[in-house]
Amino acid sequence: MSFRVGFGHDVHRFLFGRKLMLGGIEVAHTHGLDGHSDADVVLHALCDALLGAAGLGDIGEHFPNTDLKYKGLSSSVFLKQTYKMVQDTGRVVENIDVMILAQEPKLQAYKSKMRDNIAGMLALEASQVNIKAGTNEGMGFIGAQEGMAAYAVVLLKTK
């Protein structure tokens, strides 16, 4: 059995009048995130981590923001297609760890829902997915509530 690690990162600015999608679920907030798709920073970072661990490039290569077929699309579609590509390499997820940075909204009440949703989409046990959230202590664009970021680490193993 062999293992491979992948790391992903994504960032989007807030946009008034759009729903906020994180980890494939809707989160109550006054603003959503601006992007070509639904701008789900959690799933975008996770896709990049999966692709990196499998040696398959990055999310922009597979789902470019210049392609109109991805405009407004749910990032859950990206995640499912990405995981299919990973599985086609003979690998599966051992575990996922995600860190979300947002000054607002507070995400404690949503973390388990995100975990369960991601686990469900990838046919994993909930214990294989971990979601953390933190603030930026008022510093930078995150602290100024201009946007948010997410980081993801994935461990893949051969089937």
Per-residue confidence (pLDDT) for residue 68, from 0 to 100? 87
pLDDT tens column, 16-45: 999 999 999 999 999 999 999 999 999 999
pLDDT tens column, 87-140: 999 999 999 999 999 999 999 999 999 999 999 999 999 999 999 999 999 999
Q: Give the whole-angstrom CA distance, residue 18 versus residue 112.
A: 23
Asked whether the whole model's pTM tops 0.85, one would answer yes
Please state the domain count of the chain: 1
Average pLDDT along the chain? 96
Confidence of residue 159 (pLDDT cuts 50, 70, 90): confident
Sequence-distant (6+) residues with CB within 8 A of 29 are: 20, 104, 105
In terms of residue numbers, what domain contains 81?
Answer: 3-158
CATH at 20: 3.30.1330.50
